[in-house]
């Protein structure tokens, strides 16, 4: 797999993580009455993108602090 393809797939992963995090945050605000901050939203993006990446690449040597 070429470097350009890997970069594109990484950008798609991040885009999906951002959209998913905004969607679930909106649902929490509307249906659960919770509040949310930008910092909380960014942490959700980091966590979900890392989980999704590891589900596709379980033998990856990347640690969470490196992911951030």
Separation of CA 34 from chain center: 20
CA dist 20 → 3, 17, 62 (Å): 26, 5, 22
Sort residue 33 into left (φ over 0), alpha (ψ -120 to 50) or beta: left
Residue with tokens 């070429």: 2
Residue-wise pLDDT tens digits, 30-56: 999 998 899 999 999 988 988 888 888
Q: What is the pLDDT of residue 64?
A: 57
Q: What is the pLDDT of residue 54?
A: 83
Specify burial of residue 7 (Cβ count, 10 A radius: 0-12, 13-18, 19+). exposed
Q: In the chain, where are the structural domains located? A: 3-56
Six token digits for residue 16:
């999906």
């Amino acid at each position: 797999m070429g470097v350009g393809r890997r970069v594109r797939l990484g950008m798609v992963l991040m885009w999906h993580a951002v959209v998913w995090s905004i969607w679930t945050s909106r649902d929490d605000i509307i249906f659960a009455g919770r509040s949310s901050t930008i910092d909380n939203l960014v942490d959700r993006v980091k966590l979900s993108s890392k989980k999704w990446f590891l589900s596709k690449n379980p033998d990856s040597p990347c640690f969470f602090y490196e992911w951030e």
